[in-house]
């Protein structure tokens, strides 16, 4: 009887051992790559995950950059205004002062804070007024430009000589002389010095 139990135990042990080994074998068969390659693969997967995270981070950063739409819009608006300004200047040079004045007024309405372009447009609006024979309105615009401390220097220089010339036309030669003297004093190397004289006004 003891032998029977011993034999039965051996058979059960062998059966269990065989089953265990078979299950291990079946598991190892599924491993298609050696362990070191798996490790590399795992490292590769980790690297891929890290790269993916970086890409997501970069994408997120790019997305954040695109939030600043207002800046892009402002730049676009400035470019459009710049194109309009050049267009208005061309129309002015072609002698279509009414159309040029209309565009200058459109642009100036979109300028929130006075800058070089703002003062330049003011000067050309005065020029349009002179062409229309509206000397008083032109005088008013030019005087404002010559009196403001914030007026751009190039615009100030043009405004001084133009106001002097306007006073020549209006037969206010004393006032004209005063502005011509100011031009010589403040802008001794001005390209407009040769025009700062009532005798050259036709």
Give the mean pLDDT of 80-107: 91
Torsion on CA atoms 71, 72, 78, 82, rounded to nearest 10: 160
* Higher-confidence position of 187 and 31: 187
Which of 37-51, 129-143, 157-171 is least confident?
37-51
User: Does pLDDT of 118 surpass 70?
Assistant: yes
Domain-by-domain residue ranges, the chain? 69-200
pLDDT tens column, 122-135: 999 999 999 999 99
Which 8-state DSSP code applies to residue 81? H
Where does 69-200 sit in CATH, by number? 1.25.40.10
Residues in Cβ contact with 159 at an 8 Å cutoff, skipping those fewer than 6 apart: 123, 126, 142, 145, 146, 151
User: Which residues have a Cβ under 8 Å from the Cβ of 163 and sit 6 or more positions away?
Assistant: 139, 142, 143, 146, 179
HSE-CB at 64 with a 13 A cutoff on CA atoms is 6
* pLDDT exceeds 60 at position 102: yes
Tally of residues, the chain: 202
CA end-to-end span of the chain, whole Å? 144
| pTM above threshold 0.75 | no
- Please state the rounded mean pLDDT for residues 139-143: 97
Place of tokens 């403001």: 148
Quote the tokens at residue 115: 């800058």
Most confident of the following: 29-33, 39-43, 185-189 = 185-189
Q: Are 100 and 112 in contact (CB under 8 A)?
A: no
Q: At what angle do helices 173-186 and 153-169 cross, to 10 degrees?
A: 160
142 and 158 Cβ atoms separated by less than 8 Å: no
Convert the pLDDT of each residue in 5-20 to its tens digit: 566 665 656 656 555 5
Let me know: does 159 contact 167? Beta carbons within 8 Å. no
The values of phi and psi at residue 114, to 5°, are -55, 130
């Amino acid at each position: 009887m003891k032998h029977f139990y011993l034999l039965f135990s051996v058979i059960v042990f062998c059966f269990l051992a065989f089953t265990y080994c078979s299950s291990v074998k079946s598991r190892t068969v599924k491993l298609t790559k050696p362990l070191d390659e798996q490790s590399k693969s795992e490292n590769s997967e980790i690297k891929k995950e890290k790269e993916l995270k970086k890409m997501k981070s970069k994408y997120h950063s790019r997305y954040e950059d695109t939030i600043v739409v207002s800046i892009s819009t402002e730049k676009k608006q400035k470019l459009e205004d710049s194109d309009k300004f050049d267009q208005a200047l061309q129309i002015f040079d072609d002698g279509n002062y009414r159309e040029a004045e209309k565009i200058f007024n459109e642009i100036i309405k979109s300028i929130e804070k006075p800058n070089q372009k703002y003062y330049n447009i003011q000067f050309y609006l005065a020029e349009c007024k002179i062409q229309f024979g509206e000397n008083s309105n032109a005088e008013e615009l030019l005087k404002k430009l010559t009196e403001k401390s914030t007026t751009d220097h190039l615009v100030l220089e043009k405004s001084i000589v133009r106001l002097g010339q306007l006073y020549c036309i209006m037969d206010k030669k004393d006032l004209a002389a005063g502005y011509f003297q100011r031009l010589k004093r403040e802008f001794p190397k001005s390209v407009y010095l040769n025009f700062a004289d009532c005798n050259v006004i036709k």
